[in-house]
């Protein structure tokens, strides 16, 4: 009864039509559908895009390993690391062994293992039954000092190795501990696998017998061989000849795909198409999400993503944890003509804090109407697709771009059927028995690193301090 009384009282007070009632006859001004997940996608903007006919792109390179420098060289395809078979001759055990087939068989038996900072790779006193190659990272070889305390015997870095002599002996143990200082990638060959191959190969068995009987003083630690060349000569001497060899198995990048099926009910498309086309707006948001996924894959995909395809020699750790100006200087000076830096926004903020501590204020430049910070004149672009780990660490990428510049390039194929944007098409799939219209939306892409120094990574950057 009281509610009815209040309602009657309100009606007596109204002298004109209420706004709530008037809105039933009004045309509402509305925005187009909005989407929060759209980012700047700087990587897609700054990469030059190369047409990949046939859906693949082959990167031919000069054969670049060098036997005799005492360090093992590796190749990596995505996150998978392999040792170059001929580089196994850097091990003193195999220094003069030249059977290419057996070296290839040995290389194929190495197993990849990864360690975090602080992990023990091998431990003092434990059975020594493997050859360990350090493909990437830094580790300390720790042993007993003169007074019984622990001392660092050696700092191991990319290309170092240990344990090659132990696989020729039985019931021996490690005489030191090896502990990871940074994240490490190793390749390990067990003594069992090594002995199996020895029993299958007469050439390897004969080599090991000669190796055991060879005086130690006859071994060259670095395995250096003379390289013939001529300089400062006069007259007409016969000059040494050489040639540039190519990789026999060059890397091929196949175009990857990101796809989704867009469904729109015919009743929605027929009755609710004014003032905005429903299919057009649905497609617009779907394409934006596909482009976001494309950039994510180009950064993080384990087969072709930049974080996993940087050459091991082009990955460096920070000096102290946070990203300092010194760290970025070292990252930039390791390559020619660096053009762009990419980092997570939190990493950029961490770098700004380090600059503030030193009283440095990096300049900003205008890029397409956006003010972005720079370091040494190189734009530092935000990229939220670069992950921040649970340990509050991230990475900073530096790129040189362009095919003629031997840099990083994006790969796509234009001119595909039903193309909506370059490298992206929308194909009508029909209407099902529930009156739902379906469209297949696809984008084809990849990214290639033409030479190793085109891409560098500053790893394990602390952003949480």
Per-residue pLDDT tens digits for 347-385: 999 999 999 999 999 999 998 888 999 999 999 999 999
pLDDT of residue 70: 67
- 458/326 Cα distance (integer angstroms): 11
Per DSSP, 164 falls in state T
pLDDT of residue 341: 96
pLDDT tens digits for 292-316? 999 999 999 999 999 998 887 788 8
* Percent of the chain scoring above 70 in pLDDT: 88
DSSP E strand boundaries for 74-129: 74-77, 80-83, 111-115, 120-122
- 412/444 Cα distance (integer angstroms): 6
Per DSSP, 334 falls in state T
> What are the structure tokens assigned to 409, written together?
């390039």
- For 405, phi and psi rounded to 5 degrees? -95, 5
Is 295 exposed, middle or buried, given 0-12, 13-18 or 19+ CB atoms closer than 10 A? buried
- Residue 162, beta-bridge partner list: 132
- Whether 251 shows a pLDDT value over 90: the answer reads no
pLDDT of residue 227: 46
pLDDT of residue 62: 74
Q: For residue 24, what pLDDT band results from cuts at 50, 70 and 90?
A: confident
pLDDT tens digits for 37-64? 888 999 999 999 999 988 999 988 876 6
Mean pLDDT, residues 13-20: 73
pLDDT of residue 218: 34
Where does 111-263 have alpha helices with state H?
A: 191-200, 202-213
- 185/82 Cα distance (integer angstroms): 11
pLDDT tens digits for 123-175? 988 888 899 999 988 888 898 877 777 888 887 888 888 888 777 777 788 88
Which residues contact residue 303 at a Cβ distance below 8 angstroms, ignoring those fewer than 6 apart?
Answer: 77, 78, 256
Q: Give residue for tokens 């990229």.
A: 383
pLDDT tens digits for 191-238? 888 888 888 888 888 888 877 766 543 333 333 334 455 566 676 777
Residue pair 342/381 in contact (Cβ under 8 Å)? The answer is yes
> What is the value of pTM for the model shown?
0.72
Residue pair 462/318 in contact (Cβ under 8 Å)? The answer is yes
Q: Which residue has the higher pLDDT, 213 or 386?
A: 386
Give the distance from CA 138 to its chain's centroid. 18
- Whether 182 shows a pLDDT value over 70: the answer reads yes
pLDDT, the chain, mean: 85
- 336/359 Cα distance (integer angstroms): 28
Q: Which residue has the higher pLDDT, 436 or 214?
A: 436
β-pairing, 315-317 vs 370-375, is unpaired
């Amino acid at each position: 009864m009281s509610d009815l009384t209040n309602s009657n009282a309100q009606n007596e007070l109204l002298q004109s039509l209420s706004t709530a009632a008037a809105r039933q006859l009004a045309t509402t001004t509305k925005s187009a559908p909005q989407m929060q997940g759209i980012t700047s996608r700087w990587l897609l903007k700054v990469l030059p895009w190369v047409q990949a006919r046939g859906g693949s792109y082959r990167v031919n390179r000069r054969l670049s390993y060098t036997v005799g420098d005492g360090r093992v060289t590796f190749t990596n395809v995505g996150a998978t690391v392999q040792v170059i078979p001929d580089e196994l001759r850097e091990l003193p055990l195999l220094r003069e062994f030249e059977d290419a087939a057996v070296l290839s068989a040995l290389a194929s038996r190495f197993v990849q293992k990864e360690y975090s900072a602080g992990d023990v790779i091998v431990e003092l006193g434990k059975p020594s039954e493997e050859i360990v190659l350090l493909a990437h990272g830094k580790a300390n070889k720790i042993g007993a000092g003169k007074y019984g305390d622990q001392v660092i015997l050696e700092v191991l870095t990319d290309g170092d190795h240990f344990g090659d002599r132990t696989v020729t002996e039985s019931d021996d143990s490690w005489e030191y501990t090896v502990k990871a200082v940074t994240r490490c990638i190793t390749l390990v060959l067990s003594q069992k696998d090594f002995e199996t191959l020895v029993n299958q190969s007469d050439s390897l068995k004969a080599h090991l017998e000669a190796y055991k009987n060879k005086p130690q003083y006859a071994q060259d630690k670095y395995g250096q061989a003379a390289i013939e060349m001529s300089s400062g000569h006069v007259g007409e001497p016969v000059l040494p000849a050489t040639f540039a060899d190519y990789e026999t198995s060059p890397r091929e990048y196949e175009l990857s795909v990101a796809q989704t099926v867009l469904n729109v009910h015919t009743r929605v498309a027929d009755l609710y198409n004014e003032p905005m086309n429903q299919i057009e707006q649905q497609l617009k948001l779907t394409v934006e999400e596909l482009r976001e996924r494309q950039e994510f894959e180009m950064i993080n995909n384990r087969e072709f993503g930049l974080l996993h395809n940087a050459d091991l020699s082009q990955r460096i750790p920070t000096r102290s944890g946070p990203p300092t100006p010194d760290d970025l200087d070292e990252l930039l000076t390791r390559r020619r003509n660096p053009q762009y830096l990419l980092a997570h926004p939190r990493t950029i903020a961490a770098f700004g804090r380090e600059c503030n501590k030193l009283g440095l204020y990096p300049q900003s430049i205008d890029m397409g109407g956006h003010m972005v910070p720079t370091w040494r004149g190189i734009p530092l672009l935000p990229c939220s697709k670069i992950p921040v780990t649970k340990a509050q660490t991230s990475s900073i990428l530096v790129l040189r771009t362009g095919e003629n510049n031997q840099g990083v390039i994006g790969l796509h194929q234009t001119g595909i059927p039903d193309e909506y944007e370059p490298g992206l098409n929308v194909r009508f799939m029909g209407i099902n028995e529930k009156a739902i219209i379906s469209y297949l939306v696809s984008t084809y892409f990849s990214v290639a690193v033409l030479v190793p120094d085109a891409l560098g990574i500053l790893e394990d950057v602390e952003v949480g301090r």
